[in-house]
Amino acid sequence: MVGEPVPATELQGSVNNLVSGFPSSVQTVQQLAGRIQQLIIWGLPVDFYATYRERLAAVTPEEVRTAATTRLTPNNLETKFDKKTVRSSERPARFEPAFLFARRDFDSLQ
In this predicted model, what pLDDT tens digit does every residue of 51-110 receive, in sequence order? 989 998 898 888 888 888 887 766 666 656 555 555 555 555 554 444 445 555 555 444
pLDDT of residue 82: 57
In this predicted model, what pLDDT tens digit does every residue of 1-39 receive, in sequence order? 666 778 888 889 998 998 898 888 888 999 989 989 999
pLDDT of residue 99: 46
pLDDT of residue 40: 92
Read off the pTM: 0.56
Alpha-carbon gap, residue 88 to 102, rounded angstroms: 10
Measured from the Cβ of residue 79, the count of other Cβ atoms closer than 10 Å reads: 19
